[in-house]
Amino acid sequence: MSDQPNAQPSHGSPVWDPSHQGTGAPPARPRAAPDGGALAAGGVVFAGVLMFVSGVLAAFQGISAIAEDDVYTRIGSYVYEMNLVGWGWVLLIVGVVAAATGYGLLTGAGWARVSGIALASLSLVLQFLFLPYAPFWAVVQIAIDVFVIWALAAYEPAAAPPPQT
């Protein structure tokens, strides 16, 4: 020991810890998520629900178009015209795949995030092309697709902790 009454012993913790100064060892607590991180994390769950529900609704939309009932009427003449039955099959297939991807997002599947962005982008384009048949619903679906793309692109999943043995 030293002659000074408040001196610390030479063994034990150092007086100056570099982790508190931003140099040396990493900080003891993990940093908070960046702005919007929690919103994006919650948005992924919401995006999964939206993809699942909108996929099921798109499948029903496709079935209705395939059945050629009186639900859809064309408004005006457009450059990109397609047979209503053809649109029905496209919407049915995309709807089933989107519902499966939404389920994958809810279960945390790694493939679902990239697939979700691709499917929401495809759905956005298809709904734009479907505007002549259901203008209000197509605009609502486009807004949902934009949110899904944002939520899946902005989310940065935390690294999984190593398995304990």
CB contact set of 11 (below 8 Å; sequence gap of 6+): none
Residue 61 has pLDDT above 80, yes or no: yes
* Per-residue pLDDT reduced to its tens digit, 81-115: 677 788 789 889 999 999 999 999 888 888 888 99
Phi, psi (deg, nearest 5) at residue 74: -80, 140
**CA angle (94, 97, 102) in 5-degree steps:** 120
pLDDT score for 32: 46
* Contact call for residues 131 and 138 (beta carbons, < 8 A): yes
CA distance 152 to 150: 6
CA distance 165 to 153: 34
Looking at residue 68, the DSSP 8-state letter turns out to be T
Sign of torsion over alpha carbons 39, 42, 43, 46: negative
Taking alpha carbons only, the member of 82, 85, 94 closest to residue 58 is: 94
Q: How many CA atoms lie within 13 A of 45 on its CB side?
A: 5
Residue 31 has pLDDT above 50, yes or no: no
Q: Which of 39-43, 67-71, 137-141, 149-153 has the lowest mean pLDDT?
A: 39-43
**Amino acid (one-letter) located at 111:** W
CA distance 112 to 69: 34
Confidence at 62, pLDDT banded by 50, 70, 90: confident
> 13: which 2 tokens?
């913790």
**Amino acid (one-letter) located at 162:** P
Q: How many CA atoms lie within 13 A of 11 on its CB side?
A: 0
